[in-house]
Structure 1
């Protein structure tokens, strides 16, 4: 009789537990519903709409006609598309590691006893308080080759002025420099939060083991900031692929398309040429590239964690 009661109680417990879990799941879905609704309305629905438009031939007037994959086939022979893709890749390769390295260096300095840390922190965080367009306008004040502050400083010390707008390399460099000023502060904040989460006892133990400053940084700080680095890598690459405002305001994609990136090319195609279908195809390619990179990095990081575990 006792064994039967125990089995009945066990069966009752197994029935009650799934009901409890289902109740928690329903509550979770209710709480997530507003966010999921907004996400679907403002992200997934526009993405589906953009994909549908990318399959159409449009001229900016009336509804487009179905063209299948013709817009994607055009990309293969479009030299300006490949130039924009190369510029976007070069921009990403330059800005992502430089902004992360500078952000990490600034975080390490601010995490130590540094004079005037408040001023230093404010200078780095200032671009985060304003929009990308405002940051680019400040960049124009600095890099304008006719009235910019930087060229005037160069000429005041006897150095030649730099053609920041008419020179291809100089224009691309100005975009990179302004972007670095805009992104380093955010990277610094994330790294600083990660550094403040590392216990000081780990560094004390490293000192007792005879580790120097560089050894502590290389073998202790950098590995423990792995999660922050992974997070920043994904965000910085996605931002670099989607860069628009700084390029549009600072150089407009010129000179001679030297700073044209995928988003500015899609903008010009969609709003100047009025070929929305082709512009949507460029946007879809950009989305696939960003998602592919994110997926590869996520799988690589998960594999590393599993091996480390």
Structure 2
């Protein structure tokens, strides 16, 4: 049982990129961060004891390990012990029944659902941009659910894990690399479901030789949308949906975008770039893959789950 006056948090997997980012950001919240001695971080008994003693467990683990950790938490209930709430940063539960998707701005009641949930799945970095752009437009009827969506995206190498980070920082790494060309990227299920699409998007991710930052771009043929839809309609729908958000803004279109501009922040910028003569548009989302795309989103969800005031998007 937690005896601390402030809410307590345990990060299972705190030594990884996302875990380190969450721990650093937790300094802005009035919480007690609990840790296991480094020598016992993989000890099931030590982990189980810690989980039973805190208010919230944040999982920063590979998918299989996250499933094992959730089974451990659920086992506490079965054994009659106090169980913490869980925020999972892996891909394992993002579309699973009984889990709430941790994108507070996605729709009107999402933040409240996160506040009351026992199990919350933190979104993927790419889906944050995809869903951020498409969900409001599909919900408004401006983009048909069966539209043949193509997504092109580039991320900084920090999202690729320790091996990729070391390769770029030690050996230079490739200037630009496409990957996921089997067209079965693990982020596709959540991107499709929470965007409201009935057709699986074509998703082409890539990595650039920069540490942090991300651009997601979605080209559209306006004549394939609803009758008479203009770029201004898309822009207005996004502005209306995110009005009042301190993290997501909808600036006017621009002629170029740099992927790392928002590095170090928890913000996201959504834009509609349009050529009405050609009846074409490109939707873009710019964010930090480690900010609103990972650790920053986690802090936003942690604050909601613990009833705390969330730090601004910086």
**TM-score bin, normalised by smaller chain:** under 0.3
The structure, 1 or 2, with the larger RCO (C-alpha pairs under 8 Å, 6+ apart) is 1
Greater Rg over alpha carbons, structure: 1
The structure where strand makes up a greater share of residues is 2
The structure where helix makes up a greater share of residues is 1
